[in-house]
Amino acid sequence: MPATDVAAGTKMTTEQNSAIELLIGVTGDVNPVDLRSRAAAAVAQSSLPVRASGQVVVAWPGVEGAGVESGNGSAPTLIPYRPAATNEAGPWAQISAAQRGILTLAAEVKAAACIVIGPDLKALRADTVHALGAPVLDRQCDLVMPIYALERYEGLVNTAILMPLARALYCKRVQMPLALDFAASASYAERIGAKANRGLLWPAIAAAQETMQVGQVHLPVRHQTPMEGLDLTAVLTQIVGALFLEVERTAATWQRGRSAQPTPVWGQPAQMHESEETIEVRPMIESFQLASRNLDELWQLVLPPVTLLELRHLARCEPEQFKMADRIWARIVYDFALAHRLRSISRVHLMGALTPLYLGWVASYVQEASMMTAEQVVQRQEQLARAFEENKPYLVSRWRWPDRFNP
């Protein structure tokens, strides 16, 4: 059963008219008239390789009973879709459900390419629509993921965990494995959109599972985080916990993978934004030190003795000498992924125990990055990602024989 209900008349409309060249789907509840107008302008000004005979369709999360609104002139056709059903709570779960719904609709109407746009519509403009859509329409790849323009200390959950973990395990060097915007081919939409909902949608991981070609584009877009207003433990639970679930579900695949392969990248990197806000690392270090005293018994259920010893030593360091080694951090993340699978402790308590460790990593990283140029920051992130790759055999061994490594 498809995850969307294509409104009555959709298939008739698409069969009677020319083939659908491009479907643009938005994951937020927006004004459909404004959406159609903005989408038409973006496509017209984008120089996308869209055939003159091909239709452009705009998909939006329509209300119950909404129908297809055929385009006239340069206006694209509007098609409502229903987000995929999900039992997960939180903003990213809702966005993922919408993304799955758009992919399913794209497969149903046999769109040649599909561009998924975040709920704030910041990517619905000519340059970004072209950057995302052109590689798919030119058949250079099946999935195009964005590389967003971020501030120096923005997106640190991605830098610390999501990017290096996904890269090491699934062997694709993708900078943003969880993104608000992406473009997909008809083949991707058909093979991924039809799958049952399994938590958050990780587009690049799904492509790696299907051995599809992935590319990346630099987008001069800055989104507000969907998780704004949530406390850190809730953010880690909803995003990192979801990635741990994906790691568990796909273990048979990532254990066979070797080194991470580069992906083609288009566009020029935007200049790194420099925030005027300074980040105080001392409270983070103090949170880590307090947890080292109060959560030691809990950490013993997750981490091996050698890591615990390193953390106790780190907790005694003065703030100026506080530095968490990449190898230690990579193994901590791997140990928590395994504990999430084994349910060594409740998953709620597990993510709470990870929070001060993550704050310790952030404090260490910020102290290093504050003295670096933008180019050096990128190199530093690459160094961390390579540490995850180098320590992947550690996770594979622990995953296969967890009892052998128990403290």
The CATH number assigned to the domain holding 69 equals 3.90.550.10
CA distance 97 to 343: 26
Same structural domain for residues 36 and 70? Answer: yes
What pLDDT does residue 9 have? 42
3-class SS shares of the chain: helix, strand, coil, % to 5: 50, 10, 40
Structure confidence by residue, pLDDT tens digits, 78-125: 899 989 888 777 889 999 999 999 999 999 999 999 999 999 999 999
Same structural domain for residues 153 and 197? Answer: yes
273 occurs within a structural domain: no
Q: Judge contact between 336 and 302, C-beta under 8 A.
A: yes
Domain of 309, in residue numbers:
282-405
CA distance 220 to 309: 43
Look up residue 14 and give its two tokens: 């698409």
Look up residue 238 and give its two tokens: 């909803």
State how far the alpha carbon of 106 is from the alpha carbons of 2, 60, 115, in Å: 11, 12, 10
- Structurally, how many domains does the chain consist of? 2
Same structural domain for residues 194 and 342? Answer: no
What pLDDT does residue 405 have? 56
Edge-first strand order for the sheet with 77-80 is 77-80, 55-60, 20-26, 113-117, 182-185, 143-148, 214-219, 265-266
Same structural domain for residues 95 and 53? Answer: yes
Look up residue 368 and give its two tokens: 């290093």
23 occurs within a structural domain: yes
Q: Where a domain ends, among 266, 295, 324?
A: 266
Look up residue 83 and give its two tokens: 């987000």
The CA R_g of the chain, rounded to the nearest whole Å, is: 22
Cite the beta strand spans of 259-391 per DSSP E: 265-266
Same structural domain for residues 255 and 124? Answer: yes
What pLDDT does residue 402 have? 78
Same structural domain for residues 256 and 298? Answer: no
CA distance 56 to 20: 6
Q: Where a domain ends, among 237, 266, 295?
A: 266
- Three-state secondary-structure class, residue 80: strand
What pLDDT does residue 70 have? 62
Same structural domain for residues 201 and 296? Answer: no
Q: Where a domain ends, among 266, 296, 316?
A: 266
What are the residue ranges in the chain where pLDDT is below 50?
A: 1-17, 65, 407
Left, alpha or beta for 90 (phi > 0: left; psi -120 to 50: alpha)?
A: left
1 occurs within a structural domain: no
Look up residue 20 and give its two tokens: 């659908």
Q: Pick the closest to residue 22 from 122, 146, 105 (CA basis).
A: 105
* Residue type for position 97: A
243 occurs within a structural domain: yes
Long-range contacts at 312-320 (CB < 8 A, ≥ 24 apart):
314/288, 314/360, 315/288, 315/289, 319/281, 319/282, 319/285, 319/363
Same structural domain for residues 262 and 302? Answer: no
Same structural domain for residues 161 and 47? Answer: yes
Same structural domain for residues 232 and 292? Answer: no
* pTM, to two decimals: 0.91
Same structural domain for residues 289 and 254? Answer: no
Helices (H) and strands (E) in the chain, counts: 18, 8
5 occurs within a structural domain: no
What pLDDT does residue 362 have? 97
Long-range contacts at 372-375 (CB < 8 A, ≥ 24 apart):
374/152, 374/271, 374/272
Same structural domain for residues 286 and 160? Answer: no
